[in-house]
Amino acid sequence: MLSAEEWGIVALSLKVGGVAVLVTLPVAFALAWVLARYRFPGRVALDALVHLPLVLPPVVTGWLLLIAFGPLGPVGRWLESWFGMTLMFRWTGAALAAAIMALPLMVRAMRLSIEGIDRRLEGAARTLGAGHWHAFRTISLPLALPGILAALVLGFARSIGEFGATITFVSNIPGETRTLPLAIYSALQVPGGEAMVTRLALLSVALSFAALILSEWLVRRTDAGRTQRGD
């Protein structure tokens, strides 16, 4: 059905999406927690900053990444000299671009579920002998779990669909940064590429559809857990 090249594209997309989402998860959770639970000066600005990739043209996000992480950029230079690491034109750079683009969606999903936790349950746990950290681990975190899973699914779907920031930041290199959307775009430029476009596009639709249904189901489970009593 799919050629070896196409399987390679799918595998690369899954790798980029998977790494992007796993690296973003702890950062996104911390941001979601802080935004859901604390009032502090600069909160609105932080909220806006987190949401920026959602509303900015992706090509601008990619350009900003290029400036920051390019060989002459402040972060890029630092990574290069300390770790000998460069993200430009690498799949890791594609993962970074996907991570930035997925961040707002992941923060939103988790924030909703954190805001849905009855904080008085944490108080109850404390009076039963649980320290701060134990109450977080045994009460807050499990109750936020459906939101965390939904964030993973949504973030993953967003990551493997990322186009603009990726192509701007790490270009379109076969086998390195050519993920599904970039491959579709490239195949469209080639005469006779329609069959490949169709296959890859159908694959994208299937992946996104599955992700949406999965996340919807997870969100429903959160709501079910919130109703406390039967009669």
Partner 1 sequence: MAIDIDIERRLGERVIAARFTAGPGLTALFGPSGAGKTSILNMVAGLLRPDRGHIRVGARTLFGGGVDLPPEARRTGYIFQDGRLFPHHRVRANLLYGFHLADPADRWMAFDEAVAFLGIGELLDRWPRTLSGGEAQRVAIGRALLRGPEFLLMDEPLSSLDAARRGDIMTVIERIRDELKLPVLYVSHDRAEVDRLATQVVEVGE
Binding site for partner 1 (CB under 8 A): 118, 120-121, 123-132, 134, 138-139, 142-143, 225-231
Angle at 148 between CA 34 and CA 64, to 5 degrees: 65
Residue that the structure tokens 């939103």 belong to: 108
In whole angstroms, the minimum distance from the beta carbon of 114 to partner 1 comes to 15
Nearer to partner 1, 47 or 115 (CB): 115
Nearer to partner 1, 57 or 123 (CB): 123
**In sequence order, what are the residues at sequence separation of 6 or more whose Cβ sits closer than 8 angstroms to the Cβ of residue 210?**
none
Angle at 84 between CA 177 and CA 8, to 5 degrees: 20
In whole angstroms, the minimum distance from the beta carbon of 96 to partner 1 comes to 35
> At 174, is the secondary structure helix, strand, or coil?
coil
Nearer to partner 1, 123 or 175 (CB): 123
Amino acid in position 174: P
Distance of CA 55 to the CA centre of its chain: 15
In whole angstroms, the minimum distance from the beta carbon of 221 to partner 1 comes to 11
In whole angstroms, the minimum distance from the beta carbon of 52 to partner 1 comes to 34
Cα separations (Å) of 17 from 5, 45, 73, 78, 95? 18, 28, 25, 25, 7
In whole angstroms, the minimum distance from the beta carbon of 124 to partner 1 comes to 5
Nearer to partner 1, 41 or 129 (CB): 129
Nearer to partner 1, 34 or 121 (CB): 121
Residue that the structure tokens 């009460």 belong to: 139
**In sequence order, what are the residues at sequence separation of 6 or more whose Cβ sits closer than 8 angstroms to the Cβ of residue 92?**
19, 85
